[in-house]
Amino acid sequence: MKKLNKKRQSLNSGWYYLNEENNEWQKATVPGFIHLDLLNNEEIQDPFFGKNELDLKWIEEKNWIYKLYFTPEDVIFNHENILIRFDGVDTYADIFINGKKILTTNNMFHPWFAEIKSYLRSSENELIVKFRSPINEVRSKMRSLNYELPAENDQAGNTSPHTRKAPYHYGWDWGPSFVSSGIWKDVTLLGYSGWYVENISIVNSDLYNGNAELLVEVNIFSNVEELIQIIISEPKTKTKEIFEIEIRKGNNALQQKILMIKPELWWPRGHGEQPLYNFTIKIESKTNIYEQVKRLGIRKVLINREADERGESFAIYVNNTPIFAKGANWIPGDSFTTRMTGKDYECLLDTAAKANMNMLRVWGGGIYEPDHFYELCDEIGIMVWQDFMFACSMYPADDKFLKSVDKEARYQVNRLKSYACIMLWCGNNEIASGWISWGWKEKLPDSVWKDYDILFHHLLPSICHELDPGRLYWPSSPGHSLILPKEDQIYGRGDNHYWGVWHGGDSFEAFEENVGRFMSEYGMQSLPSLNTIMTFANKEDLHIDSEVMNAHQKASLGTGNLIKYIEDHYTMNGNFESTVILSQIMQAQAIKSAVESHRRNMPFCMGTLYWQFNDCWPAISWSSIDYEGNWKALHYLAKRFFDSTLISLIEKDEMIDIYLVNDIKKEYSAQLFTRLYRFDGTLIFEKKMDIDVKSYSSDIILSVNKNELIGQDDPSEVFMKCDLLSNNKIISSNNYFFIKAKDLKIPKAKFEFDNKKINEKYLITIKAYSFIYQLHISAKNAKGIFSDNYFEMLPNEVVTIEFNPTELSDVKNGQIFYEIHTIYELMN
Ligand code: BMA
């Protein structure tokens, strides 16, 4: 009888770690990090609380030892070969089995294997992982160089560029510095005889006449020479291919093209469905049999870069259709990602989908995300811009470093290339900009730029072209060409990071003047919700410049810059909770103006990803959802401004231009209602227009002269309201105020509200008796999402909002307590 080729035994449980301080072995969790083990064993306090981060620097200076005793299962031990596989070791460790060294690790981003049959006992075995401090490890190398590689976010002695470890572990301008060590992915024992399969990928490179051409690649490691048969099948499209191949001793890379007849196509969300096909790949030889199922979305991807009179386009085409990319930049969801569950990923990605996003950029200062992340993106149609993990630093390019990066990149490209969601590979975040514009080239020898050239213009592109020729390799974000750049970002070519607002102190209007072909970063800070602040602060810390609040603000310009932007638009009343909400309203308005400028400029601009989607700890940052998963005002607004149809208003030379943007293939008739109201509710202007909504369009559908419109009225007491309706349903709605919120004569908010649970739905009905600017509703004892939030109401208007709870643990007798704030009391 044929044996199933490979048997696995998890070695995740039963680990201990040694704290040299107290010389006692303690229970450890694998996958995990030393900080989490110390926390679980109450050897340290919560690293996120108060200013605790600063007291934990000693952990990264120490060496840590992990130990496991295990007995191999008979089915494994009886195999001819036994491998131990560490899916991830962070970072510098020597690994021993029964006293014999089997591995020395130096890169957290690829797995480590060792053949251990000759060292293994059928009875108990001792596995030891000795971590060396990632900081001390590189100090001597750093001393031997006569320059220091820049690493401006690094709070651990600028050691990070020398280590293939998540850059953000060393600290970032939104995250703490915890340079942890740990066995951060699964440990497995694998028994095999003859050969084993290292990797299988299926890449859909092209479509011809509705048929898909697929490239199947199978990587087999073999200790024998024998004939194997590979059977690839997919029942729905009746795809079946069988081929035979003689494998040799060592690594075997097998490639086979197959054709899939008339598959249904995968689309980014908003543009169509996300059908996924299950391919079974069965590999058989005389003695062995192996089977794996791979899920695949079929689509054709092209990043269209075509010269035109304004430069060169940068537009994603999926299935020959232009896709306007809408979304944000994704950072790791925790400083210690091993405690993120599958459910956490599902909630985060669902949150992106709920805000009508269709793209996330996996930013280069974090980690290559686990398969579950990309599987979910395939399922829900979120496109991924995938950076390699290099950010805001110059990196070495000695042989050892390049070899390590080579292994990492090959592993990651092979692992990820079957996912439909990945649109492109990008070499790094902002390093070319750093060299050219941040004063680095003036300080550092030219050899550092040569190293950059080797890494990002030779090594990584050659790996991408070899392993995944169908996808674009884009050297750096922002970037304007494939060759080593001589100048920093160009508006008109490639992708742009616009930081004039926030870092440069520009006002929101500047977003309109800085629109590129693909806006991959721009942002504005805000505070997280009060509930989130209470997870790290005590009542006495609730001051905007308390030491604890400052410990959770990592940006160089600090909270002062945030206050400057709030005060530019709103009047602060000194109350801490008001500041929290005002900061979020300000952030939301900033990003709304940016995204609307980008969308109005379609098709010149074909993508907008704000900085940043999420947080890795509870902090003041640029995120739109905080560490606890609470939606900030920005996330509620994103749902509106990322909707496929958008009404957007912009003032230019006394004219108010009303744009209608539609970024999908859909034509329909609609009516535009343009109205001017006084705050007391009087309608002073109204115009109704019939409109044909066109596919993929951004047009001015109405221009009105501001002065004629306002006439004798006071601009501080009126606002414009535009509603686009189709079949009596509001498709898009936008309000326009002629002057800043702090200069408006907003009346005292008068309203009442009532909440009921009807058919399992939590409904809140609000009746306004005055004009209400920016109504904000929150639940005091529950977590969840409101069907709408941060909106305006006219006197006598009634709205019903639904609350979708995600956590009800503090709710007694089904009673949820809501609180409503409005700009009036936040500013008075
Ligand atoms: C961009 C990012 C990050 C940073 C953010 C805010 O440059 O790439 O490095 O966190 O700005 O400063």
Given a cut of 90, is residue 585 above it in pLDDT?
Answer: yes
Looking at ligand 1, which atom is closest to the CA of residue 363? 8
- 3-class SS of residue 262: coil
Ligand 1 centroid to residue 363 C-alpha, Å: 9
Nearest CA to ligand 1 atom 10: 173
**CA 676/CA 686 separation, integer angstroms:** 7
Sheet containing strand 383-387, strands side by side: 472-477, 422-429, 383-387, 359-362, 325-330, 607-610, 519-521, 496-497
Looking at ligand 1, which atom is closest to the CA of residue 611? 5
Nearest CA to ligand 1 atom 9: 392
CB 631 less than 6 A from any atom of ligand 1: no
Position 287 scores a pLDDT of: 80
CB 173 less than 6 A from any atom of ligand 1: yes
Looking at ligand 1, which atom is closest to the CA of residue 173? 10
Counting residues of the chain whose pLDDT is more than 90, the rounded percentage is 96
Ligand 1 centroid to residue 46 C-alpha, Å: 26
Residues 383-392: what's their mean pLDDT?
98
Ligand 1 centroid to residue 497 C-alpha, Å: 9
Looking at ligand 1, which atom is closest to the CA of residue 153? 9
CB 497 less than 6 A from any atom of ligand 1: yes
Q: Is 375 exposed, middle or buried (0-12, 13-18, 19+ CB in 10 A)?
A: middle
pLDDT tier at 19 (50, 70, 90 boundaries)? Answer: confident
pLDDT tier at 663 (50, 70, 90 boundaries)? Answer: very high
Looking at ligand 1, which atom is closest to the CA of residue 364? 8
Pick left, alpha or beta for residue 285 (phi over 0 → left; psi -120 to 50 → alpha; otherwise beta): beta
**CA 255/CA 719 separation, integer angstroms:** 63
pLDDT tens digits for range 691-741: 999 999 999 999 999 999 999 999 999 999 999 999 999 999 999 999 999
pLDDT tier at 310 (50, 70, 90 boundaries)? Answer: very high
Position 3 scores a pLDDT of: 53
pLDDT tens digits for range 430-478: 999 999 999 999 999 999 999 999 999 999 999 999 999 999 999 999 9
Average pLDDT of every residue of the chain: 96
Ligand 1 centroid to residue 501 C-alpha, Å: 13
**CA 629/CA 351 separation, integer angstroms:** 9
Nearest CA to ligand 1 atom 12: 173
pLDDT tens digits for range 488-519: 999 999 999 999 999 999 999 999 999 999 99
- Residue in 827, 782, 826, 785 with CA at minimum distance from that of residue 807: 782
Least confident range of 202-206, 297-301, 533-537: 202-206
Nearest CA to ligand 1 atom 7: 430
Looking at ligand 1, which atom is closest to the CA of residue 523? 6
CB 721 less than 6 A from any atom of ligand 1: no
Ligand 1 centroid to residue 434 C-alpha, Å: 12
CB 498 less than 6 A from any atom of ligand 1: no
Given a cut of 90, is residue 304 above it in pLDDT?
Answer: yes
Position 150 scores a pLDDT of: 97
Ligand 1 centroid to residue 193 C-alpha, Å: 49
Given a cut of 70, is residue 621 above it in pLDDT?
Answer: yes
Given a cut of 50, is residue 1 above it in pLDDT?
Answer: no
pLDDT tens digits for range 633-660: 999 999 999 999 999 999 999 999 999 9
Looking at ligand 1, which atom is closest to the CA of residue 392? 9
Position 206 scores a pLDDT of: 83
**CA 741/CA 754 separation, integer angstroms:** 28
Position 20 scores a pLDDT of: 75
Return the number of other C-beta atoms located less than 10 Å from residue 187's C-beta: 26
CB 430 less than 6 A from any atom of ligand 1: yes
Contact present, 179 and 139 (Cβ < 8 Å): no
Ligand 1 centroid to residue 391 C-alpha, Å: 9
CB 824 less than 6 A from any atom of ligand 1: no
CB 174 less than 6 A from any atom of ligand 1: yes
CB 611 less than 6 A from any atom of ligand 1: yes
Residues 46-62: what's their mean pLDDT?
97
Distances (CA, A) of 423 to 109, 316, 607, 712: 21, 8, 13, 53
CB 536 less than 6 A from any atom of ligand 1: no
pLDDT tens digits for range 321-338: 999 999 999 999 999 999
Q: Residues of 580-612 as b/e, b for ≥16 C-beta within 10 angstroms?
A: bbbbbbbbbbbbbbbbbbbbbbbebbbbbbbbb
Position 4 scores a pLDDT of: 54
Pick left, alpha or beta for residue 696 (phi over 0 → left; psi -120 to 50 → alpha; otherwise beta): left
Q: What is the dihedral of CA 322, 610, 775, 563, to 10 degrees?
A: -160
Least confident range of 12-21, 169-178, 300-309, 540-549: 12-21
Looking at ligand 1, which atom is closest to the CA of residue 172? 10
Ligand 1 centroid to residue 429 C-alpha, Å: 9
**Structure tokens given for 216:** 């199947």
Position 2 scores a pLDDT of: 53
β-pairing verdict for 359-362 and 383-387: parallel
**CA 409/CA 281 separation, integer angstroms:** 25
Ligand 1 centroid to residue 168 C-alpha, Å: 11
Given a cut of 90, is residue 807 above it in pLDDT?
Answer: no
Looking at ligand 1, which atom is closest to the CA of residue 556? 12
Ligand 1 centroid to residue 510 C-alpha, Å: 18
Given a cut of 90, is residue 22 above it in pLDDT?
Answer: no
Contact present, 421 and 316 (Cβ < 8 Å): no
Ligand 1 centroid to residue 161 C-alpha, Å: 17
**Residue 519 C-beta-side C-alpha neighbours within 13 Å:** 31
- Residue in 610, 602, 723, 605 with CA at minimum distance from that of residue 663: 602
- Looking at this protein, which amino acid is placed at residue 462? S
- Out of 155, 168, 438, 521, mutate this one to test ligand 1's pocket (max ligand atoms within 8 Å of CB): namely 521
CB 60 less than 6 A from any atom of ligand 1: no
Looking at ligand 1, which atom is closest to the CA of residue 365? 9
Residue/partner pairs of 95-99 with CB below 8 Å, 24 or more apart: 95/127, 95/128, 95/129, 95/130, 96/126, 96/127, 96/128, 96/130, 97/125, 97/126, 97/127, 97/128, 98/125, 98/126, 99/126
**CA 233/CA 202 separation, integer angstroms:** 12
pLDDT tens digits for range 519-574: 999 999 999 999 999 999 999 999 999 999 999 999 999 999 999 999 999 999 99
- Looking at this protein, which amino acid is placed at residue 23? N
**CA 539/CA 555 separation, integer angstroms:** 23
Nearest CA to ligand 1 atom 8: 429
Per DSSP (E only), the strands in 269-393 are 277-284, 288-296, 301-304, 307-308, 311-312, 315-318, 321-323, 325-330, 359-362, 383-387
- Out of 155, 172, 173, mutate this one to test ligand 1's pocket (max ligand atoms within 8 Å of CB): namely 173
Looking at ligand 1, which atom is closest to the CA of residue 555? 12
Ligand 1 centroid to residue 156 C-alpha, Å: 18
pLDDT tens digits for range 151-200: 999 999 999 999 999 999 999 999 999 999 999 999 999 999 899 999 99
Nearest CA to ligand 1 atom 3: 173
First-to-final CA distance of the chain: 81
Nearest CA to ligand 1 atom 1: 521
Position 6 scores a pLDDT of: 58
For the chain, state the CA radius of gyration: 28
**CA 721/CA 708 separation, integer angstroms:** 16
Least confident range of 16-25, 81-90, 102-111, 371-380: 16-25
- Out of 329, 430, 477, 613, mutate this one to test ligand 1's pocket (max ligand atoms within 8 Å of CB): namely 430
**CA 159/CA 167 separation, integer angstroms:** 10
**CA 480/CA 495 separation, integer angstroms:** 7
pLDDT tier at 813 (50, 70, 90 boundaries)? Answer: confident
pTM for the model:
0.97
H helices present in 335-419, as ranges? 342-354, 371-380, 399-416
